[in-house]
Chain A
């Protein structure tokens, strides 16, 4: 028995060792669940909550029988405020069907004692109309006359057709499921035709034939797209028929479906299937094995899945902006097509976005297909193979394995920093000053320095604490002087901070002295965030990726780290400016200077109560100020055009 237990233990230890030495497995096992998925979920959650709150605030368009008591009641200030309604005096019941009104309230009899009978006419196949019906109905049901009798007796009339209702119910379920099925339909074929073929050793034989690699790629993408499309269409048909069957068996009666609209919705599937196929083939082509491809495709699946889920929850109009977001736009467009509410311009934007993503994925795949990497030939010196963390640490101790930072370090550091920051960040809510010191100086700066030291590297050279050329300081001053306004305008354009946020920020500042505020909100982030993002992460990425891609990645990570969808783009823009500066100057000091100027100016404005002064300026003055800021940033960037580019880091490759 003990011999058998020993065998089990040996096999167990060997399997664990082998698996944990695979960095990609570790990434999927740790990085994604601990960092990427919660981060994405958080962002998706924010989007949903934001959309829902905006939706709740949206007014409803209501009319009532002219000259009736109910009309008079609806026109009172109290009703308009509590119902958030827009009263349309000339509206009729027919306008509900024509989508000009959300609800029409008919007063059936004026005479006699209360309750007076009224009837709410609404369209049960429209979300806005249902919301209006719910609000108006609740309002009148709770309206009492002196003596606690109900003032109105409420009845309801749904004018939605059976077909529309069927379409409405389908639109709640089908789009998300169909999108998910199309993605799933592409998932395994994409792996099978690329990494799977490589693993089965059949790829080389095909590449030996006189066939253009791009043609080979096109054939593969089309086959994957076809399978994904078939999966999507089968699911669309199957779900619709299942729905009909459920309606019958649930004794709901005959619930006809808008088959013509469903057929129209199916038109979304071919471009979507081609896009999913192209993206997944691209990722799987970069993988050397089936397992590795699964690791690569899982986050891609999630990246499409998350926005699709967000789109399916709650009332989410397909705006121009959203129609460019892959995954989300497919769900929303499918829904709108089923409801018969699709508009041409968002449809065009969806096509444009889908074609762009597809073309980008195909271009990357074509490069991969044309490269020798496709044959998965080992190009590394076998002696440089890594063997687990402990072995490497031992080698570092001996001074025999001191590798510079790489992309793996960047990913690991980001993941750990997010976890550390999440643990420490609540402290700053309890005690602003001490908590921020702990999360920023401890969770970010000390963490970064310790990481670098544990890797056996010198802090100052590795992170870029080196003296820059004077012109980079001038460049930083120019970018810092103008950048805050450019980023601020971008924030205003996307979504201005709510009054609640502004007030809360003011209270925080008032609780501190001016020097303490500047130290906490200007100097601290400049020192700590620069060390992590433009120091460790950017420099690690630059060893693996081209500069433009490295800057893009680190900027997005910087944006994501601020845990706010509204601030994602402005923060990422600031991050990009800082990253370009750090890359070009080869030093961390200029980006720290820009960061401190950016945050310092904003903090000083808030402290002096002038943070809203810009809004009060005339449009001309605002335009001049903005133009001057853009010019400052542009001039600062021009100064960066020549000179060293991170001289302490060898070129990527």
Chain B
């Protein structure tokens, strides 16, 4: 049994002549938070989408919880919770209905669905709006529902693409706490963000993505020390400018 939540080797993704991801390799252990950091257009979201089975890689090899994404997509998806940046909700359904739908899609029995809904509603402080239409919720409330939906089937691996985008300080803190609690439960987590300060707070290891490649990898401390920078942001700039 692999101890890795994610293994990504020489991943390449092209759209016609455009190379979105040139060659990305990294791995994430169970109980680890790995940050993919980089500017817009660096190839982070494309990498995430390949990991989530939304896009087929044009080269390389990707495994989620030991399952090959290319050859066993459905099983790989079962191992994965994916929160995409700017994900929307079914506006005319309530959070409870959305969770029920999600649980049933993942093959959970209705009793399991109900129990999991209750647990997540409490854990993410959603009980007060569980039966309101999603279109009436605030940005923070919607993001909590999106997160609940992503982790509903309790997968061992999580991919979170820009999870705190657009959230206020309180909502961001709440979301980070949830992510850390999932890590404590042994889940392997990849976070994709361009908020470098946030990554510094919660990531165990970080990979800097630039022009479709991981140009530097290590713990936040290692990266700061290697570049002589005082923050991860400055470390990133130093690495990119050296390219």
Contact = CB atoms under 8 A, between A and B. Distances in A.
Interface in B13-72: 15-18, 49, 52-56
A264 B140 CA distance: 53
B82 A208 contact: yes
A209 interface: yes
Interface in A361-391: 372, 375, 377-381
A653 B14 CA distance: 14
B70 to A, nearest CB: 14
Interface in B65-110: 73-75, 77-78, 80, 82, 84, 86-91, 102, 105-107
Given A200-B91, A210-B106, A205 B74 contact: no
Interface string A199-216: 011101111111110000
Nearest to B82: A208
A372 B55 CA distance: 6
A207 B87 CA distance: 12
B149 interface: yes
Interface string A180-212: 000000000000000000001110111111111
Given A210-B74, A381-B18, A204 B106 contact: no
Contacts of A378: 15
Nearest to A216: B105
B16 A202 contact: no
Nearest to A192: B92
Contacts of B56: 372
B143 to A, nearest CB: 13
Given A207-B54, A209-B106, A375 B18 contact: no
A205 B106 contact: no
A644 to B, nearest CB: 24
B55 A379 contact: no
Contact of B84 (A204, A211, A372, A377): A204
A375 B55 contact: yes
A197 to B, nearest CB: 8
Given A210-B77, A372-B55, A202 B87 contact: yes
A204 B106 CA distance: 15
Contact of A375 (B49, B75, B91): B49
B88 A201 contact: yes
A377 B75 CA distance: 25
Q: How large is the interface on A (under 10, 10 to 19, 20 to 34, 35 or more residues)?
A: 20 to 34
Nearest to B146: A205
B128 to A, nearest CB: 23
A208 B88 CA distance: 13
Contact of B52 (A200, A201, A208, A212): A208
Contacts of B87: 201-202, 204-205
B54 A202 contact: no
Nearest to A377: B15
A372 B49 CA distance: 11
* Prevailing SS type, chain A contact patch: loop
Contact of A200 (B15, B16, B84, B88): B88
A143 B49 CA distance: 85
B86 A201 contact: yes
B15 A205 contact: no
A379 B90 contact: no
- Greatest chain B CB density within 10 A among A202, A210, A378 is at A210
Contacts of B150: 205
A407 to B, nearest CB: 17
B105 A375 contact: no
A223 to B, nearest CB: 13
A206 B150 CA distance: 10
B49 A205 contact: no
Interface residues of B, number: 31
Contacts of A209: 77, 102, 105-106
A86 to B, nearest CB: 63
B228 to A, nearest CB: 35
A51 to B, nearest CB: 46
Given A200-B91, A201-B88, A379 B15 contact: yes
Contacts of B17: 381
B117 to A, nearest CB: 17
B134 to A, nearest CB: 10
Interface string B112-149: 00000000000000000000000000000000001001
B55 A208 contact: no
Contact of B105 (A211, A372, A379): A211
Contacts of A375: 49, 54-55
- Greatest chain B CB density within 10 A among A200, A206, A209, A379 is at A209
Contacts of A206: 105
B240 to A, nearest CB: 20
Contacts of A207: 54
Contacts of A380: 16, 18
Interface string A95-139: 000000000000000000000000000000000000000000000
Given A202-B90, A653-B16, A210 B75 contact: yes
- Greatest chain A CB density within 10 A among B80, B86, B105, B150 is at B105
Given A375-B49, A379-B16, A208 B77 contact: yes
A148 B86 CA distance: 89
A653 B16 CA distance: 9
Nearest to A211: B105
Contacts of B54: 204, 207-208, 372, 375
A200 B73 CA distance: 25
A200 B78 CA distance: 24
Nearest to A378: B15
A284 B144 CA distance: 30
A121 to B, nearest CB: 60
Contacts of B53: 208
A201 B102 CA distance: 16
A632 B102 CA distance: 62
A216 to B, nearest CB: 10
Contacts of B82: 205, 208
- Greatest chain B CB density within 10 A among A208, A375, A381 is at A208
A391 B81 CA distance: 45
Contacts of A204: 54, 84, 87
A380 B73 CA distance: 27
B51 to A, nearest CB: 10
A627 to B, nearest CB: 48
B103 to A, nearest CB: 10
A368 to B, nearest CB: 15
Interface in A166-191: none
B88 A202 contact: yes
Contacts of A208: 52-54, 77, 80, 82, 84
Contact of A205 (B18, B107, B149): B149
Interface of B: 15-18, 49, 52-56, 73-75, 77-78, 80, 82, 84, 86-91, 102, 105-107, 146, 149-150
28 contacts: A200-B88, A200-B89, A200-B90, A200-B91, A201-B88, A202-B88, A204-B54, A204-B84, A204-B87, A205-B84, A208-B52, A208-B53, A208-B80, A209-B77, A209-B102, A209-B106, A210-B74, A210-B77, A210-B78, A210-B105, A210-B107, A212-B74, A372-B54, A372-B55, A375-B54, A378-B15, A379-B16, A653-B16
Given A208-B77, A208-B84, 10 more contacts: A201-B88, A202-B87, A205-B84, A205-B88, A208-B54, A208-B80, A209-B105, A372-B54, A377-B55, A653-B16
- 5 nearest interchain CB pairs? A201-B88, A379-B15, A210-B74, A210-B77, A200-B88
